[in-house]
Amino acid sequence: MRGPTPSGARLAGWRIALRLARREALRRRAQTALMLVLVCLPVLAVAAAAVVWRTADVSGAEGVERRMGTAAALVYGSGTTEVLQSFDPDGATSWVGEEEHVATVTEVRQVLGADRPLLPIAREYLSYVTDRGVGDVVVTQTDLAAPLARGLFRLEGGRLPRTTGEVVVNPALARRGPGLGDTLTALRRTSDGETRTELRIVGIVESATTRDEAVAGVLPGAVGTPDAPPQWLVGGDPVSWDDVRALNAVGLLAASRQVLSDPPPASALPPEVVSDEPVDETAMTALVLVATMVLLEVVLLAGPAFAVRARAQARTLALVAAAGGTPAQARRTVLASGVVVGLLGGALGTVLGIGVGALLVPVAQRLQGTWFGPFEVPWTVLLGVAGFGLAAAVLAAVVPAYSASRNDVVAVLAGRRGEGRTSRRSPVLGLVLIGAGVVSGLVGSRASGASPALVGASALLSVVGMILLVATSVTAVGRAARRFPLALRFAARDAARHRTRTVPAVAAVGATVAGVVALGIALSSQQAADERDYDPQLAHGYAATPVGGDADPETVRGVLAQRVPGAEIDEIAGVRGAGEGTWTDLSLELDGEPLVLPTFGSLGSSFLVGTSVPAAVGLAPAEQAAAEEALAAGRLVVLGRSADLPGGRLRAVVQVTDDATQEVLDERFRDVDVTSVRSPVALPAAAGIVPPTLADELGLTTATTALVVAPTISEAAQEDLAEALATVAGAGELYVERGFVPDSAVRILQWVLAVLGGVMMLGGTLTATFLALSDARPDLATMAAVGARPRTRRRVAAAYALVVGLVGALLGAPIGFVPGLAVSRPLSRDGDGATLLAVPWPLVAVVVVGLPLLTAAAVGLCARGRLPLVARID
């Protein structure tokens, strides 16, 4: 009788191994639950993020109703006689015609048919009167009650407009006032003046496209003729791609519901609009790097659990080996635990991730200014995520399985435990990989251009090299523990004796710390570079609003005094360049070449006029005194942060230009003495200061160009004040100098980084500690038998946590500097090639010292004090 084939034998062997693994999982429920948590958590997090991301991402088909209601297409003019477009006109577009052309409804009907229903629609930005001043609003002019417009707005209260004197607004506008039942004053500002339209608010609606922007809807003609090209919502039969091409031929663009929902093959696109978008190598490298690091982290965290599971099965596997079992069967038995835990953990994490994602969608929606799409589960992505969990669990079981197959059968059956000596080649290879990581990082961040692949490789090589050093480091700590207190000595030597369990946990902590340090350095360096490149326009805390030639400075002052009572308000005089139909410009030349000076509009003029430098410019006392001395001597003062500012004898050029023809009507030259003053505090808002006597000699017109408010104006008051100033003709935009303000996203990332790093470190340390305590029950029983106190167990538990956390953190922190330095260079490089390095030392101190001590204290307090009374051989 023939036996089973080798493949059939292997399959039968896997069936037996999986059945044994399932029974072992049910038998050791607490241990299995811990292993499931380690696999489930990353799967859950990624699955939830995928659900939120897919729901937030509105595809072309999902966004059709938001753009065109129930219409078959949205058609609008391109401004020329012929145009080419991609399937979505908001994408690639190529203007073929060279003549200007205004589209008409007749052209639309000629192409699509005379019997199609058409609904005119127009969107434009206008201003409106708020409770505090004037704000901006997006106005949609169309018949909102028409069937084709259904879906553009959702009625929340009241009703839709029935006459041109009525309007509906969204909650964002109503919060600033006016609200339901009030009168909305819409302002259309053109070069011919301002047109005011009074409209009664009859309804509150939610726009399908935006949540936080002020939006209003009116009937056509309610607020005048829009300046934007005409648009029509087209009803009737679907608009095909051939219809879209026909519309393009007469200068019309079209967003077709049919084309967006079921696009034709890419070969149907005109060659002119086919663009081969390059792959974002940085994003792809970052994605691959993050996925690899997360997989490595999960493998390292789950590794100790499988090591303990393999140790618990060691006697059974030894009996099998004594009865003739092969090493392959032992490996298969341990790997089967990884398969069982991975399948269950991946499936459970995916299901829980969908639920958590559903709970997070409303939270994420509040942080987004636009509406999410319908709730969507990316099943293909989640299948890969579940496979990710399975792969992590199987990989985590590989090393314990290999170690279990090499156990000394006699030693295991005799109850002796321990491991062989550490490999001498591993630390050498680890140092080589770390060196390769350093070289890869330096080459990848070279000044000629950063290579994301090499920068990513530096992180992987360095972390893998560190992992190869962990076993040697743990052994060294165990040998150096002879002078430690009993609990710490026991923990260090036990960690060294059971490296299969300890090394993955220490490596997981080290990899986490390395990632936190690397990303912390990258974020801090980029933020430092942003702060370096930030150019303040005023001294810190000062506010300024430019005043145009048609504005009354006293009116502007009155608004400022009313909105900021008690504030110190100063008028700034400057060169007024505009004349009656002409423009007067002042510039400086050095050796016949125009001198390029920094010009900013917050003070209304490139050149101020006066005998002193305004306090809002922010000069230091010494520079302030030098500038005032030069102005008193009749010298022009040039301000700036550069060290090589011009000075001495320069030529001043005054040009009078005709506004209509741009012809130079008059040009005057004069050599003037210039004193350069460096401003280390703030880059001034004007290129220079002209003494009044010199301004008269040059024939310059001077006037009030800005009003300055001394520190300070709150952010809430700034919004109200900006709306109030918008009611004054000629008043410019209010600017408040608050200095460099880090991006809120960067601050959130830093907090998330610290929290996630702490959670991962805590998880790795606690996992290793409690697994070690479970594995060390016979040793603790021996200690109890010889009279150890109950508090000894707590001390041993805290010592385990301290050894694992501190050794991992001390190994990981230096390794994190390798990719951190490599990433920080391209992120902080300026135009001259200079780079910055900012190390977040508080974050490094927290993860290297604070978290291990905190974890050890928490473990010591939570661990049970009663020592187990069990047999020596478990």
Confidence band, pLDDT 50/70/90 cuts, at residue 872: very low
Angle 612-615-619 (CA atoms, 0-180°, nearest 5)? 85
CA distances from 513 to 15, 79, 508, 716 (A): 40, 57, 9, 40
Whether 291 shows a pLDDT value over 70: the answer reads: no
Which tens digits make up the pLDDT trace of 517-569? 887 888 888 888 888 888 888 888 899 999 987 788 999 999 998 888 888 99
pLDDT class of 37 with cuts at 50, 70, 90: confident
* pLDDT the model gives residue 768: 67
Instruction: Give the sign of the dihedral formed by CA 515, CA 517, CA 521, CA 523.
Output: positive
Instruction: Report residue 654: phi and psi, to 5°.
Output: -115, 120
Q: Which amino acid is at 851?
A: L
Identify the residue whose tokens are 């070969």.
267
pLDDT, tens only, 825-841? 777 777 667 788 889 89
**What digits encode the pLDDT tens for the residues 88-100?**
888 878 888 778 8
Tell whether the model's pLDDT for residue 869 goes beyond 70.
Answer: no
Residue 5 has pLDDT above 60, yes or no: no
Q: What band does 243 get if pLDDT is binned at 50, 70 and 90? A: very high
pTM score, whole prediction: 0.70
The residue among 459, 284, 453, 282 whose CA lies nearest residue 827 is 282
Element (H, E) at 232: strand 231-234
Per-residue pLDDT at 1 exceeds 50: no
Tell me whether strands 183-190 and 735-736 are parallel, antiparallel or unpaired: unpaired
Per cent of the chain over pLDDT 70 is 85
pLDDT of residue 163: 94
Alpha helices in 643-689 (DSSP H): none
Q: Rounded to whole angstroms, what are the CA distances from 491 to 114, 386, 416, 477, 773?
A: 87, 36, 19, 10, 10
Sequence ranges of the domains in the chain: 62-115+235-261, 118-232, 486-534+743-874, 543-736
> CA-to-CA distance for 231 and 214, rounded, in angstroms?
21
Q: How far apart are CA 445 and CA 439, in angstroms?
A: 10
What does 145-208 look like in DSSP terms, one character per residue?
TSGGGTTSEEEEEE----STTEEEE-HHHHHHS--TTSEEEEEEEETTEEEEEEEEEEEEEEES
Residue 183's pLDDT band (cuts 50, 70, 90): very high
Confidence class for position 282, pLDDT limits 50, 70, 90: very low
pLDDT confidence band for 739 (50 / 70 / 90): confident
CA 454 to centroid of chain Cα atoms: 23
Report how far residue 750's alpha carbon sits from residue 37's, in angstroms, rounded to the nearest whole number. Answer: 25
**Which of 701, 689, 697, 546 has its CA nearest to residue 607?**
689
Residue 314 in this model has a pLDDT that exceeds 70: yes
CA atoms of 535 and 685, how far apart (whole Å):
10
* Exposure string over 798-829, b if 16+ CB within 10 A, otherwise e: bbbbbbbbbbbbbbbbbbbbbbbbbbbbbbbb
Q: Which whole number is the average pLDDT over 325-333?
A: 81
Most confident of 256-265, 376-385, 834-843: 256-265
* Helix/strand/coil for 536: coil
**According to the model, what pLDDT value does residue 28 have?**
81
- Chain-centre distance for alpha carbon 535: 23
